[in-house]
Amino acid sequence: MKLSKITILGLVLFTFFTACKKDDDTAEPIPDRDRSEVYAEDLVEIENFLETHYYNYEEFQNNSTYSDTSTSPVSNTENDTFEIEYFEITDTTPPGTLSLMDMLNNDPSVTSNVLKFKMVTDNQGIEYKLYYLVVREGLGSALHQLDRAIVSYKGILSDETSFDSSPLPFSFNLTALGAAPGVVPGFREGLISFKTAETFTEDTSDGTVVYHNHGIGAVFIPSGLGYFSAPVGNIPPYSPIFFNFNLIDRNDTDYDVDNIPSHLEDLNGNGNGFDEDTDGDNLSNFFDNDDDGDGVLTRDEDLEDTDLNVDSDGDGDPTNDRNGDGNPLNDDTDGDGIPNYLDADTVISRL
């Protein structure tokens, strides 16, 4: 009798746990939180950090903002190795210390020791306020969102927990596309507000390289322009992330392998390569290997008038890089001011 009761009890428990397990297995994933609500919380968290922290700006101000690259060796290089450090404002903080928020100044003519912001709209139409700290803008080349950036950086959370860093220059695409990974949108939008190094010097005794007059800054990213609901490493879901960085250099990308650097396919120069689609095939020019849709690959429209129907390189293909300069940008066979690769009316004849 007792055994029967135990057996029945066991069957009941087995059925209960099996049912629970089945429910767990078929449980639907938790939906993402509302992006607007998360952004409102993130903005409070970011602005609280900016109001309650300062950085070591006096250390930066004690030296010349930029190195003197006209001298040999380059002089006044102290700020070329400057690193941002944050400190919480407490009762013992010296009076008159400026918080990060106290340094807010969106005047475009002010290019050092200033906090700025820009409004960035994500692909779901939500507009974010993106704060970024310009320690110095930099004197080298401007950066385009389709470039590959070379950066040293440190990533932290609002409690200053570090989640990633690369003290040595690291190269990555600014835009993620296809199999090419890129940085989160907030980091990209921060970086493109700076310029690369002007030059560098190398210590021949140990190979140490010092970059001069590169951009130095930080960006404070709402989770909607970061990883949002995805936990990454020790970054919790819905967490704002901050990056301190030195922008060292840039490289061209060529996503569609058409011999035109991707940033030059931003024809209207608005910084957004995604809104250029010459042939209307729903492929942005920088990811379209036949930009004008005339059936001739963009890289094969590198021709001069005198080269038509001439196999100058002897490979049996008279349409392949006839003038040999590898640049489709400078070829306009019919002289209408539109390069061949964007001109569907110019279809290169083949033998």
| Domains of the chain, earliest start first | 35-251 (3.10.50.40), 254-351 (no CATH)
Q: Which helix (H) or strand (E) holds 135?
A: strand 127-136
Decide which of 296 and 8 is more confident: 296
pLDDT at 23 over 80: no
Digit-coded pLDDT (tens) for 129-181: 999 999 999 999 999 999 999 999 999 999 999 999 999 999 999 998 766 67
Strand-pairing partners, residue 294, are: none
Query: How does residue 220 score in pLDDT terms, banded at 50, 70 and 90?
Result: very high
pLDDT at 310 over 80: no
- Report if pTM > 0.85: no
| Secondary structure E strands in 103-239 | 112-121, 127-136, 148-156, 162-173, 199-202, 209-212, 215-221
Q: What is the mean pLDDT of residues 90-106?
A: 97
Q: Which stretch of 56-70, 125-139, 167-181, 183-197 has the lowest confidence by average pLDDT? A: 167-181
User: Are the C-beta atoms of residues 60 and 103 closer than 8 Å to each other?
Assistant: no
pLDDT at 13 over 50: no
Q: What is the mean pLDDT of residues 267-284?
A: 88
How many residues are listed for the chain in this entry? 351
